[in-house]
């Protein structure tokens, strides 16, 4: 199936000496900053993209909205599922944004498990996501990169290692065993992939407003864990929180230099992470209590992300 159209629709490494830990952290931060600077410098003049807000100008022209993304976009297990191949819900945030905006057309090709590669490659019955974007497209939202850095494998690895040292940080030790933080490296390596997606979106839809959507707050922002309800070791909660923040920072920087707006969904969801009580959380833990995939937004989480995206549409990007 091509585009989908809808009307609303190992063991842990031993702890290194303190100097080694500081060196690893410093190398990680330096690598992230340096690589993102290189990525920004390599971005073509898409940063001067001049396509205005779809509703701006004479007579408010019709808005043709295309949503691209992974499972945080598609809404797996949230009723009602309208595409089994992609675990896509008709109550995901793009569908809510589209319904609120009463857009002329809406195409949601987000798909659970997608990486940036699926922008150009089919995923089961879902065609290459970028095939949904054309010259008539006037609004594009993009939420991608989590699977490129390895969200699923990170969760499985950290949960498995937590039993070896629940009070420590075995997951952080694991990913820093080489002396350089591997998750920081993953974030750095993903930056040029996001930049390439943005360049191709602008090429295909030169007049579209492009919005990069960040990831919501998955773990307590204060770094205090909730083992065993969420099975990560105490010291790995802040480590994983900071990894997600690094991912969001990268997305924001690449959006800035790639002629796109950035929508922050992290701050609006702080205090509603997977450690909170069922009535208060918008992100479900590894054993969900509400219909949603593990470590993913539930219906309320998708609703809050929709509100953030709706508020962010029409923002200013470089050159506008």
- Residue 32 — pLDDT band, cuts 50, 70, 90? low
Decide if pLDDT at 231 tops 80: yes
- 296 has catalytic annotation: yes
Q: Does residue 165 lie within any of the structural domains?
A: no
pLDDT number for residue 161: 98
Q: Domain of 132?
A: 18-153+179-223+238-312
Indicate the burial class of 79 (C-beta count within 10 angstroms; 0-12, 13-18, 19 or more): exposed
Confirm if 110 and 67 have CB atoms less than 8 A apart.
Answer: yes
Q: Beta strands of 60-119 (E only): which ranges?
A: 64-69, 81-83, 88-89, 105-108
- 49 has catalytic annotation: no
Q: Does residue 4 lie within any of the structural domains?
A: no
Q: Does residue 149 lie within any of the structural domains?
A: yes
Q: Does residue 166 lie within any of the structural domains?
A: no
User: Percent of the chain having pLDDT more than 90?
Assistant: 78
User: Percent of the chain having pLDDT more than 70?
Assistant: 79
pTM of the model: 0.84
Among 4-18, 94-108, 126-140, 290-304, which is the least confidently predicted range? 4-18
Report pLDDT digits (tens) over 94-142: 999 999 998 999 999 999 999 999 999 999 999 999 999 999 999 999 9
What is the overall mean pLDDT for the chain?
86
- Residue 314 — pLDDT band, cuts 50, 70, 90? confident
Decide if pLDDT at 305 tops 70: yes
Q: Does residue 159 lie within any of the structural domains?
A: no
Residue of 89, 110, 296, 317 marked active site:
296
pLDDT number for residue 72: 98
Q: Does residue 219 lie within any of the structural domains?
A: yes
Q: Beta strands of the chain (E only): which ranges?
A: 64-69, 81-83, 88-89, 105-108, 139-143, 209-213, 261-263
Among 5-14, 19-28, 39-48, which is the least confidently predicted range? 5-14
Residue of 71, 89, 162, 169 marked active site:
71
- Provide the CATH number for the domain around residue 187: 3.40.50.1110
Q: Does residue 132 lie within any of the structural domains?
A: yes
Decide if pLDDT at 17 tops 70: no
Q: Does residue 69 lie within any of the structural domains?
A: yes
Number of structural domains (the chain) is 1
CA distance 63 to 65: 6
């Amino acid at each position: 199936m091509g585009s989908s159209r809808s009307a609303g629709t190992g063991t842990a490494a031993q702890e290194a000496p303190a100097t080694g830990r500081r060196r690893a952290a410093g190398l990680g931060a330096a690598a992230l900053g340096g690589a993102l600077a290189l990525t920004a410098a390599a971005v073509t003049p898409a940063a001067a993209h001049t396509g205005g807000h779809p509703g701006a100008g004479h007579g408010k022209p019709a808005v043709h909205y295309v949503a691209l993304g992974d499972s945080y976009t598609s809404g797996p297990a949230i009723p009602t599922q309208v595409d089994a191949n992609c675990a896509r819900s008709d109550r995901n945030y793009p569908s809510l944004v589209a319904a609120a905006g009463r857009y002329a057309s809406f195409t949601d090709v987000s798909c659970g498990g997608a990486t940036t590669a699926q922008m150009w490659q089919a995923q089961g019955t879902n065609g290459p996501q970028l095939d949904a974007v054309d010259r008539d497209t006037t609004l594009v939202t993009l939420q991608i990169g989590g699977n490129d850095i390895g969200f699923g494998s990170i969760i499985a690895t950290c949960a498995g290692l937590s039993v070896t040292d629940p009070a420590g940080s075995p997951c952080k030790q694991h990913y820093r065993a080489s002396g350089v933080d591997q998750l920081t490296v993953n974030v750095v390596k993903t930056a040029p992939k996001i930049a390439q997606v943005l360049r191709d979106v602008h090429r295909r839809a030169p007049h579209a407003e492009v919005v990069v959507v960040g990831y919501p707050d998955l773990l307590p922002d204060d770094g205090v864990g909730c083992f065993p309800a969420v099975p990560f070791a105490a010291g790995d909660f802040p480590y994983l929180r900071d990894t997600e923040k690094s991912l969001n920072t990268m997305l924001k920087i690449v959006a800035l230099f790639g002629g796109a707006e950035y929508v922050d969904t992290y701050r609006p969801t702080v205090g509603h992470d997977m450690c909170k009580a069922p009535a208060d959380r918008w992100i479900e833990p590894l054993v969900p209590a509400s219909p949603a995939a593990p470590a993913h937004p539930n219906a309320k989480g998708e609703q809050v992300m929709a509100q953030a995206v709706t508020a962010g549409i029409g923002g200013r990007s470089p050159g506008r």
